[in-house]
Amino acid sequence: MFALIDGNSFFASCERVFRPDLWRRPVIVLSNNDGCVIARSAEAKEAGIPMGAPFFKVAGLAKRYGVAVFSCNYELYADLSARMMACIASLAPALEVYSIDEAFADLSGIADASALGMKIRRRILQWIGVPACVGVAPSKTLAKFCNHLAKKNPCFSGVCNWGDLSQDERLQWMRSFRVSELWGIGRKLGEKLPEQRIRTVFDLHEADPAAMRRRYGVTVERIVHELHGIPCLEFEEIAPTQRQILRSRSFAEEVSDIDEIKAAVTRHAHSAAAALRQQDALASCVGVTIHTSRFKAERHFGWDVSSLPAPTSDTLVLSAAAVRLAERIFRPGMKYKKAGVVLLELTNANAHTGDFFNPGDSARSRALMRTIDSINARYGGEAVKSAAELVGTKWHTRRDHLSPCYTTRWDELRQIR
């Protein structure tokens, strides 16, 4: 049996943890650069604010309903997420962290899964302050579906166990949900399947797996099996190693100055390299993207990659390569809105065999990186950075509604008088 534990409106709930005055008010959280709505409390959904809407289009609506608006405070969400995962791990035998707000737990051998689900939910609410729902079922897809039921239907009190439902109830619930709401069915399939008279989750459950495979590929065939309780997706307690690391951000304002582009690219290279070292990996290849706005007539999507002489995790090597690429793809006179750095061809640092003529990172380089990482861990992610990053401010990310990092910065602790 699998359980899927999922924080409700997670980012919005995180913003409420230290703000009891917001417990009944509508809350929304915006994407980077205050671009789009990416999380909404139940009250904000009721007010009619759509998911993914550009903020400038719903700002009037938000004001009218007294919605509390927040810029994305990823540092806060990541810390509360880690606490939530630790809390689940204190009760569940094995955990697969699926995303920042969700985890699968392996409940094989648990006698009363519903009772455990209730306990997990209560503990997360009490220890972390975030409401969560639990779905329990013999496959991941059904666990997702049950979690969805628990979220939408108060009759489940936050925990829905497939095993507790009669066959009639199961079919009834499957008939009442559109196929497009199912995990693994996205926009395209959600449009294509109804053309073949597959409109509800029940219709897909009744479909012939072999025919589904022929028409839509192995992914849809697996979903059909999973709906019958035949697991096709494995429980992955140990996350597979990442294949690429990407850092990119939109700019607050358009940028035409190559030095500001280089400042942004340097920042992203620093951040990506830190993530690389965090997972004990080396990169053999680095790529850079610079984009003008998608919404303007005159456009340029610049992109190039270069191979490094030896696999490395040295920020200075990676950022120098990234800056060279940026210089190569930059077109004078274009107004850029976004830049990114991607690290590719990742390998495990501990399994790496050096090349006699190209030994890669020196002991001196590794010691320097360790020192930078430990200073940044203690004093904040950008305590040590390249002087190149000090150029300009247009490339910075807009974050006009940022909340304090209540749990990770001494000077932003909540004060109570």
Partner DNA sequence: TCTGGGGTCCTAGGACCC
Least Å distance, CB 320 to DNA, is 20
| Residue 194 or 368 with smaller CB distance to DNA | 194
Q: Return the residues of window 337-396 that contact DNA according to CB under 7 A.
A: 337-338, 340
383 DSSP assignment: S
| 270 lies in the binding site for DNA (CB under 7 A) | no
| Residue 166 or 186 with smaller CB distance to DNA | 186
Least Å distance, CB 395 to DNA, is 11
Of 197, 240, 205, whose CA–CA distance to 225 is shortest?
Answer: 205
Angle made by CA atoms 377, 379, 384, in degrees to the nearest 5:
85
**Total binding residues toward DNA, as defined by CB under 7 A:** 47
* Residue of 219, 278, 306, 307 that binds DNA (CB under 7 A): 219
* Residue of 203, 254, 304, 373 that binds DNA (CB under 7 A): 254
Residues 159-198: x/- map of binding to DNA (CB under 7 A)? -----------------------xxxxxxxxx--------
| 278 lies in the binding site for DNA (CB under 7 A) | no
| 50 lies in the binding site for DNA (CB under 7 A) | no
Least Å distance, CB 103 to DNA, is 10
Stretch that binds DNA, among 109-117, 127-135, 290-298, 317-325 (CB under 7 A): 290-298
Contacts of 313 by beta carbon, 8 Å cutoff, 6+ apart: 273, 276, 277, 281, 282, 283, 349, 361, 369
Cα–Cα distance list, 361 to 172, 348, 351 (Å): 61, 14, 14
Q: Return the residues of window 93-132 that contact DNA according to CB under 7 A.
A: 98-102
| Residue 248 or 407 with smaller CB distance to DNA | 248
| 242 lies in the binding site for DNA (CB under 7 A) | yes
Stretch that binds DNA, among 77-85, 88-96, 215-223, 257-265 (CB under 7 A): 215-223
Least Å distance, CB 195 to DNA, is 13
Q: Which two tokens stand for residue 384?
A: 């040590």
| 321 lies in the binding site for DNA (CB under 7 A) | no
What percentage of the chain's residues is helix, strand, coil (to nearest 5)? 45, 20, 35
71 DSSP assignment: -
Of 155, 90, 162, 98, whose CA–CA distance to 126 is shortest?
Answer: 90
Q: Which two tokens stand for residue 331?
A: 């077109």
Are the CB atoms for 67 and 25 separated by under 8 Å?
A: yes
Are the CB atoms for 404 and 412 separated by under 8 Å?
A: yes
* Residue of 21, 295, 298, 353 that binds DNA (CB under 7 A): 295
Least Å distance, CB 306 to DNA, is 14
Of 342, 368, 341, 365, whose CA–CA distance to 354 is shortest?
Answer: 365
Q: To 10 degrees, what angle do helices 140-152 and 167-175 make?
A: 70
Of 39, 121, 43, 126, whose CA–CA distance to 76 is shortest?
Answer: 39
| Residue 170 or 268 with smaller CB distance to DNA | 268
Residue 346 three-state SS:
strand
| 28 lies in the binding site for DNA (CB under 7 A) | no
- Residues of this chain that interact with DNA (CB under 7 A) are 31-33, 35-36, 38, 52, 54, 56, 98-102, 144, 182-190, 213, 217-219, 240, 242-250, 254, 275, 293-295, 337-338, 340, 397
